[in-house]
């Protein structure tokens, strides 16, 4: 979880976003609370990614999901792909 959050913030910073360390902490706290209350394993990636997507959307807004999508697709472009997300 921490690795995903750090890489997400690094990618967003490369594009000039002003997300803070506190934003990352809040994303992590949100995901961990959702895992705790759902009794799911935090080691299961299939559970983690939807919760991470939800946390980023709730805390930073749906526009921030662009960076998560690029991170998960493991590609780097000269600017973020500004298109509607699922």
Q: Where are the domains of the chain?
A: 2-73
- List, for residues 17-41, the tens digit of each pLDDT value: 999 999 999 999 999 999 888 876 6
Q: How far is Cα 75 from Cα 23, in angstroms, rounded to an integer?
A: 23
Q: Counting every residue, how long is the chain?
A: 86
- Residue 74, exposed/middle/buried by CB under 10 A (0-12, 13-18, 19+)? exposed
Is the pLDDT assigned to residue 82 strictly greater than 60?
A: no
What integer is the mean pLDDT of 76-85? 54
Is the pLDDT assigned to residue 79 strictly greater than 60?
A: no
Residue holding tokens 């949100």?
30
Q: Is residue 30 within 8 Å of 53, Cβ to Cβ? A: no
- Residue 30, exposed/middle/buried by CB under 10 A (0-12, 13-18, 19+)? middle
């Amino acid at each position: 979880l921490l690795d995903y959050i750090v890489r997400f913030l690094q990618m967003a910073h490369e594009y000039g976003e002003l997300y803070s360390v506190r934003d990352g902490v809040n994303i992590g706290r949100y995901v961990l609370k959702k895992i705790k209350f759902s009794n799911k394993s935090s080691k299961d990636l299939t559970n983690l990614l939807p919760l991470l997507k939800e946390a980023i959307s709730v805390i930073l807004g749906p526009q921030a999901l662009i960076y998560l999508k690029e991170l998960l697709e493991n590609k780097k472009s000269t600017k973020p792909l500004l298109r509607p997300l699922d």
